[in-house]
Amino acid sequence: MAAAGSRPPRVLSATVRFERGRWFVSFQVEVQRADPVPARPGESVGVDLGISHLAVLSTPVPDVTDENGFVANPRHLDAAQKRLRRASRRVSRRCGPDTRTGRKPSNRWRKANHDRNRLLHRVANLRRDGLHKLTTALTSRFGTVVVEDLNVSGMLKNRRLARHLADAGFGEVRRQLDYKTRWRGGRLHVADRWFPSSKMCSGCGAVKAKLPLRVRAFHCEQCDLVLDRDVNAACNLARLVQVGGSGTGVAADPDTQVSNGRRSRRKTPPCGADGVDASTPQRVSASDGDHPLVTVDCGAGVLTHAHSIRNGSVE
Ligand SMILES: [Zn+2]
């Protein structure tokens, strides 16, 4: 994938890991590449992440959202849940490994476990595919992406929400937007956790004192604006950048970290601390297997990208 005339990618390190019965090896490589700049570098988009919809955008994007800006949540885990439950039941009925007594798993257990792992891999791959398509679509169109600083780990403690939230992959969306905006010279703006994106009117700026979660439509008493709750929130996020407003940080700028006193943000982002500069080599970490050029899967299922190794041979 390296452009003609540039240096070939240099492998810096490799990490092997075993996950759900498959082996993966990820390479950290240094590549020289210039990602195309966003189609609309001057524009910003507000992204409101949710559960009923994976995301709501302030501006509808063809092929990504419907005409109102909603990105459907595919809920892969829910769809697979029935089959997963059945597969897990079969695994637990069979004679599995026991570290205490040193018992080896039966062949029937291995087989059942393999079937369950296949299902889990499928859910994980579908989820990853969907999130990558969304984040690539956003960063290739808009120069600035604005998201809320959601307290994901706190929300995961809510037992009712946890599974749906983890399935929607909020944390992953934010991580991908962070490095993809950087690659393209755009920026990710993270709104303060206490920014009233839902309670504020995107038309006149009036802030409601209360807006319970079950109220799905935003109705402004000041200017009579009626809008979907999440669309209103997304518009507020987009406006936050246009008016140069009160967000607490620009994630693409390593000097300005998101800060609200709660938890210090990781100082070094996953893909390296440098801003994008097409003329300098970029160090790309693919430790969690999301960089198309460098992700290699040695297992039975091979990722769709550039180099893949199957049974030890490079295809
Ligand atoms: Zn209003």
Instruction: Kindly name the residue from 148, 149, 192, 290 that is annotated as catalytic.
Output: 148
Residue 140, pLDDT above cutoff 50: yes
Tokens 């524009």 locate to 43
Q: How many Å apart are CA 298 and CA 315, to the nearest integer?
A: 11
What six digits make up the tokens of 301? 């299922």
Closest CA to 271 of 5, 31, 7: 31
Cβ distance 179 to 269 under 8 Å?
A: yes
What is the average per-residue pLDDT within 134-143? Answer: 93
- CA 54 to centroid of ligand 1, rounded, Å: 26
* pLDDT recorded at residue 259: 36
Helix residue ranges, H only, the chain = 76-93, 107-141, 152-155, 159-168, 170-183, 229-242
Task: Answer yes or no: 115 catalytic.
Answer: no
User: How far is it between the farthest Cα atoms of the chain?
Assistant: 71
Q: Are strands 295-297 and 22-31 parallel, antiparallel or unpaired?
A: antiparallel
**pLDDT tens digits, 29-57:** 998 877 788 888 888 999 988 777 888 99
Mean pLDDT taken over the chain: 76
Compare 270 and 122 and report the one with higher pLDDT: 122
Of 41 and 139, more confident: 139
List the Cα angle 49/54/59 in 5-degree steps. Answer: 70
Q: 198 near 229, Cβ under 8 Å?
A: yes
Ligand 1 centre from 197 Cα, in Å? 13
Q: How far apart are CA 51 and CA 167, in angstroms?
A: 9
Asked whether residue 245 carries a pLDDT value surpassing 70, the answer given is no
What separation in Å is there between the alpha carbon of 218 and the centre of ligand 1? 9
The Cα–Cα gap between 52 and 146 comes to 20
Whether 5 has a pLDDT exceeding 70, the answer reads no
User: Looking at 167, 178, 230, 297, which residue is catalytic?
Assistant: 230
CA distance linking residue 77 with residue 246, whole number of Å: 36
Expressed in angstroms and rounded, the spacing between residue 207 Cα and the centre of ligand 1 is 8
Secondary-structure breakdown of the chain: helix, strand, coil percentages, each rounded to the nearest 5 = 30, 25, 45
Using an 8 Å Cβ cutoff, are 274 and 295 in contact?
A: no
- Of the residues 48, 149, 172, 192, only one is catalytic, namely 48
148 is catalytic: yes
277 falls in which pLDDT band (50, 70, 90)?
A: very low
Most confident of 181-190, 270-279, 294-303: 181-190
pLDDT at 285: 43
A 10 A CB-CB count for 165 gives: 19
Average pLDDT over every residue of 1-12:
71
What distance in angstroms lies between residue 227's CA and the mean position of ligand 1's atoms? 10
Distance in Å, CA 224 to ligand 1 centroid: 6
* pLDDT exceeds 50 at position 300: no
CB 12, CB 30: distance < 8 Å: yes
CA-CA-CA-CA dihedral for 141, 142, 143, 148, to nearest 10: -140
* 136 C-alpha to ligand 1 centroid (Å): 33
What does the DSSP 8-state code read for residue 74?
-
Backbone angles phi, psi at 235, to 5 degrees: -65, -40
Whether the CB-CB separation of 50 and 56 falls below 8 Å is answered with yes
Q: What is the reported pLDDT for 91?
A: 95
Residue 48 among the catalytic residues: yes
**Residues pairing with 283 in the sheet:** 30
Please state whether the predicted TM-score (pTM) of the whole model is above 0.85: no
| pLDDT on residue 244 | 55
Q: Is 34 helix (H, G, I), strand (E, B) or coil?
A: coil
> What average pLDDT does the segment 156-170 reach?
72
Higher pLDDT, 279 or 149: 149
* 204 and 220 Cβ atoms separated by less than 8 Å: yes
